[in-house]
Structure 1
Amino acid sequence: MTKATKLLTALPPPQRQRLMALAREVSFPEDTRIFEAGGTADRFWVIRSGAVSLTQQVTSIQRVTVASLGAGDLLGWSWLFPPYQWDFGAEAFSPVRAYEFEAQPVLKLCEEDAALGLSLVRIVAEILAHRLEMTRGKLMEQYGMHRRGVV
């Protein structure tokens, strides 16, 4: 498996500086729900420190962690694609510090700077491809355990 792409370090320095001009520092205490599946996706974060669990609601009372994110990872990509709703939920697994970006100013910046926009979309696509690969691996592992009667 390939190493996860980190959004900020993957951008060339001039593009990173333009994007960072739109960032604001935020923090989330441990066990804070950052967003819920189906909610309006109007921002994203780059985690500076701490851990975030991406979750999927499987029953009315049970959530399953589908991915764990840490320092440098992108949290939230649904702001880029209609219908602009979160596909998963997210919860701070530990105290989290992050850079927060509102979607509209970032999208406006991408329209003004097409090279930045293309870079950002390519990097997010790389991140999504990596997460899909990781999820596929977890599903295959679970399927194998189930077939062997471990689960």
Structure 2
Amino acid sequence: MRLFAALVLLLAMVNAQAVDLEGDQLARYHELNAELRCLICQNRSIAESDAPLAKDLRTIVEKQIAQGRSDAEIKQYLVDRYGKWVLYDPPLDSATLILWIGPFVLLAIGLLVVVLMMRRRREAPPERPSLDRDRLTRVLDEQTQPTDSASSKERS
């Protein structure tokens, strides 16, 4: 039993060892990490995230680069495993169409609403309270008569 536990521990240590990348491989590693989204943080790349899953994804990328796989193969492997959400720039297809077109549709709807509101404001006459002309004339006559009679008394 101890031998089995030691063997499992040794195997885990071998798998946990980091693969050393050099030159172009290291540049590819950093580029891929920047292009892949952390599935836990969602708005961070796996290069920026400290989440355990991001660390696992970085290890997968590192090992696959060391095995000689291309960037497209590595991305496809991760997409097959985690879905298109793992890519920061998902490809344009029927499943991601709303991601690509959605912002433009919302912008067009917003502009349409603004234009319609401006037209309504321009076309609608300004609201004025309805006044009774006869009543207004009487009120104005009452206000002007005392001043007229006062001025006529001064003249006499």
TM-score range, shorter-chain basis? Answer: under 0.3
Where relative contact order (Cα < 8 A, 6+ residues apart) is larger, the structure is: 1
Q: Which has the larger share of helix?
A: 2
Larger CA Rg, structure 1 vs 2? 2
Which structure carries more strand by proportion? 1
TM-score in terms of structure 1 length: 0.22
